[in-house]
A and B are shown apart, each in its own frame.
Chain A
Amino acid sequence: MANLWRLGVLCGAQGGRAGSKASSLHWTGERVVSVLLLGLIPAAYLNPSSAMDYSLAAALTLHSHWGLGQVVTDYVHGDALQKTAKAGVLALSALTFAGLCYFNYHDVGICKAVAMLWKL
């Protein structure tokens, strides 16, 4: 209990309780998306559909976006460099998501593509 209070004081000194709340929500969000993605994979195999294609694209890109964000946080040091790296990851994730949606709309879609690839 005393530790929680200390954490609150620390966060208060570093820009309000909002900072730690946001981080806590981010952590929970990461786990939720992970579990979602875990469930989507067998679901996509058993029930391939267009809705599944788009859900897979969204969960996949969000999971990898947050994962790469953690890698940047761990290895890229310094304010300016970290901001640039994070912007780069955002750009990559956005382009990847756009590409996957384009594939789902104009081409066979993720589920069918995996099936076709595996029949090779």
Chain B
Amino acid sequence: MAALLLRQVGRHCLRAHLSPQLCIRNWSLPMAMSICHRGTGMALSAGVSLFGLSALLLPGNFESHLELVKSLCLGPSLIYTAKFALVFPLMYHTWNGIRHLMWDLGKGLKIPQLYQSGVAVLVLTVLSSVGLAAM
């Protein structure tokens, strides 16, 4: 019964030209967090590269760019949201990175520990992002 259902779901994915693993495999927290670790890493890399390249290519110094943003007179809630959006992927990648380093030391590799540390990372991410964005 489950096999039939799975085959139906997989077929739907193939019709949408998606990899069937995305639909057939049961999503788990560690799997999703691993993908997010890579995703945040790539996003942060892109941000750093954009920053470095714009220093080389764009006219004007950093202060002038900040003045431009100030002149937009954005509301404080929008500024907080923007800061949160910047800090959230950094915090996630940092905390999950520590989790990865713990695994490299051979610690916390049991399945229940995986889920516990995963939840801890998510909680720490939200708390630290909220805190840092408020600074």
Contact = CB atoms under 8 A, between A and B. Distances in A.
Contact of A117 (B52, B66, B97): B66
16 contacts: A34-B101, A38-B98, A64-B44, A64-B45, A67-B45, A68-B42, A71-B42, A95-B52, A96-B48, A97-B52, A99-B56, A103-B52, A103-B62, A106-B61, A108-B62, A113-B62
Given A31-B101, A34-B101, A108-B63, A100 B55 contact: yes
User: B interface, by DSSP: helix, strand, loop or mixed?
Assistant: helix
Interface of A: 31, 34-35, 38, 41, 60-61, 64, 67-68, 71, 92, 95-100, 102-103, 106-108, 113, 116-118, 120
B12 to A, nearest CB: 24
Contacts of A103: 51-52, 55, 62
B70 interface: yes
A95 B53 contact: yes
A7 B52 CA distance: 41
B83 interface: yes
A9 B35 CA distance: 34
Interface of B: 38, 41-42, 44-45, 48-49, 51-56, 61-63, 66, 69-70, 79, 83, 94, 97-98, 101, 104, 135
Q: For chain A, what secondary structure do more than half of its interface residues adopt (helix, strand, loop), or is it mixed?
A: helix
Nearest to A118: B135
Contact of A107 (B61, B69, B101): B61
A107 B66 contact: no
Contacts of B97: 34, 38
B45 A68 contact: yes
A102 B48 contact: no
A120 B63 CA distance: 11
Which of B45, B94, B97, B135 is most buried by chain A, counting CB atoms within 10 A of its CB? B45
Nearest to A117: B66
Central interface residue in A31, A41, A61, A118, by most chain B CB within 10 Å: A118
